[in-house]
Structure 1
Amino acid sequence: MAEPLTSLADDRALLGRTSTAERVADILRDRIAEGYFPPGARLSEEGVCGALGVSRNTLREAFRLLTHERLLVHRLNRGVFVRVLDIGDVEDIYRTRALVERAVVRGLGEAPHGLGALAAAVREGRRAAREDDWNGVATANIRFHRALVALAGSVRTDELMRGVLAELRLAFHVVDDPRRLHQPYITRNAEVLAALEAGDRAAAEHLLTDYLDSSRRRVVEAYRDRVAGGGEREAAAAAAGGA
């Protein structure tokens, strides 16, 4: 994986002539969702401003927006850090996912649906697994579920779930064995896709319900084990001088 600030520089062109705090927040949110910034990482104003070519005022507004979304925290006299979740956060993320993702599937009209982005995410996950790239598998999984929510055709729902799924990625960072966590969902994503391709919304919703419950239990178990062992404190301490 590329260095976080180097990867931000790659996105600089996206800002174009209409650089806004919202667009900067979009870029940083996406980078959190893709695993570039782990929980506890400090985001340097100087480093991010230099990578994106934006002013400190613009960046501070973007930081404010992401703090409101619970992705960042501001620590007095220390700076801005990526938030460290607790188990209650993880449980709430999955409650939200179940409410939204199941409703999206249940509310789909008659097939065919535009499933190209879901199929691409399934292929991406399989490729990453073949390359033993489990961070890549996690990113493909996040993209699959963003594409699933996008089937609703709702800008508001898309915006809500972008933040929720970025928070979910923060929980993934504390898992010691990402292969054990993510490998089952390569197949499960493919099963949900196949049900949607067949136009069987009831089967897709049933698969998704079981999927989310299983994923919640796995993540909470792994998260509880890591945090109980002091992993949360270790992660924050290790990242205190981060990018």
Structure 2
Amino acid sequence: MNGLEDDRALLGRTSTAERVAGILRGRIADGYFPPGERLSEEAIGAALKVSRNTLREAFRLLTHERLLVHELNRGVFVRILTVEDVEDIYRTRQLVECAVVRGLGRPPYALDGLRGAVEDGRRAARAEDWAGVGTANIRFHGELVALAGSRRTDELMRSVFAELRLAFHLVDDPHRLHEPYLARNAELLDTLDGGGRAAAEKLLAGYLEDSRLRVVEAYARRLAEGSGASGV
């Protein structure tokens, strides 16, 4: 039909590229590919058994999400955030997360995802897995955003949270960074469970501002030490 048959192959390739991007996004979020690391087309393509074109499309998608950067004649690298990037991430979080809570309807709210994330954080803390506590914290906020019931908002914040993980990976004391938010997540959950939407929004705004100050301080100190900054 009007030559569209010739484009059929693009559908499969794009779908595959999105799946590859999802795998790489998860690996970046988990720290398997840390900030500043160069991604090898040959090694990743061979491991995932995908073509170079598909892999390059996946890289393009992740570059658009600000997780990767392309350096001319050097290759593709996991992005190293600036302090200004971290500040901007928190401005976005304030705008979106507080608006989600403000826009909630009448209680009760669907809080099972938040409860699961709180329990995940507690289990990780008992195991002294502080990176795992950070993962549970990100999940908590993802579940909070999901209360809006908006696929577009979920997709936006998925990228924002993935960027935030890049900052977490360069912080030298994840225990000190993440532990305070175990109790604060539980407090926020309890407030929402009691139907206190306005009180929850106030708690969340203070929570995010405290987190911004803590993360920016730790991240700026780490960058000043030059850790990881030689990759890009």
For 1:35 and 1:112, the matched residues in 2 are separated by: 36
Equivalent residue for 1:210?
206
**Per-residue deviation, 1:173:** 1.4
Equivalent residue for 2:49?
53
Give the residue type in structure 2 aligned to 1:69: E
Equivalent residue for 2:40?
44
**Per-residue deviation, 1:80:** 1.0
- Aligned ranges 1:1-243 → 2 under 5 Å: 19-231=15-227, 235-237=228-230
TM-score with structure 1 setting the length: 0.86
Alpha carbons 1:35, 1:139 under 8 Å: kept? no
Give the residue type in structure 1 aligned to 2:105: G
For 2:159 and 2:204, the matched residues in 1 are separated by: 20
**Per-residue deviation, 1:87:** 0.4
Gap regions ≥5 residues in structure 2: 1-11
SS in 2 for 1:64: helix
For 2:186 and 2:153, the matched residues in 1 are separated by: 23
TM-score with structure 2 setting the length: 0.90
For 1:208 and 1:63, the matched residues in 2 are separated by: 34
Q: What are the Cα deviations for residues 17-71 of structure 1, in whole angstroms up to 9, with x where unaligned?
A: 9942222222222332333321111222122223323221111011011111111
Percent of residue pairs identical:
72
Q: What are the Cα deviations for residues 79-134 of structure 1, in whole angstroms up to 9, with x where unaligned?
A: 21100000000000000000000000110111122211111111111111111111
For 1:60 and 1:127, the matched residues in 2 are separated by: 38
Give the residue type in structure 1 aligned to 2:98: R
Instruction: Flag as ranges the 4+ runs of structure 1 deviating above 6 A.
Output: none
For 1:66 and 1:40, the matched residues in 2 are separated by: 14
**Per-residue deviation, 1:223:** 1.1
For 2:192 and 2:26, the matched residues in 1 are separated by: 26
Question: Matched residue pairs, number?
Answer: 221
**Per-residue deviation, 1:204:** 1.0
Give the residue type in structure 2 aligned to 1:119: R
Q: CA RMSD in A?
A: 1.8
Larger radius of gyration: 2
For 2:86 and 2:97, the matched residues in 1 are separated by: 16
The alpha-carbon distance between structure 1 residues 197 and 51, as it changes in their structure 2 partners (threshold 3 A), is farther
Alpha carbons 1:29, 1:163 under 8 Å: kept? no
Give the residue type in structure 1 aligned to 2:111: L
For 2:204 and 2:217, the matched residues in 1 are separated by: 20
Alpha carbons 1:146, 1:161 under 8 Å: kept? yes
